[in-house]
Amino acid sequence: MRYLKTLDLWDNNTQTAIIQGQIKLQVGQWVKCGSEHLSRFVKVSQGRTLWVSHPQGTPKDTREHFQSLINAGKRKSTL
């Protein structure tokens, strides 16, 4: 599966399409959430909530936060 162009998650139609499975995103897909800074898609939780990792203070903090969300999502889905 290939990554898509950066999607704007502040667009309700885009959010709905992702939640309903009409648009399938890979973990790490670049998305935009209103600011000029790009965020990264993590997952759709319980079929209605988008998990997205937003930029943190430093690039290292951003990577660690993204990875922690991935790990948390894996733990939560196995409970």
pLDDT tens digits, residue range 47-66?
789 999 999 999 999 999 99
Does the global pTM surpass 0.75?
yes
Mean pLDDT along residues 2-29? 94
Task: Answer whether residue 79 shows pLDDT above 50.
Answer: no
The reported pLDDT for the residue numbered 9 is 95
CA angle 37, 41, 45 (to 5 degrees): 135
Alpha-helical (H) ranges within 1-79 are: 12-19, 59-78
pLDDT at position 76: 60
Distance in angstroms (rounded) separating the CA atoms of residues 24 and 18? 6
- Tokens describing residue 63: 């990577």
> Rounded to an integer, what distance in angstroms lies between the CA atom of residue 39 and that of residue 56?
10
Q: What is the mean pLDDT of residues 65-75?
A: 89
Residue 2 pLDDT: 81
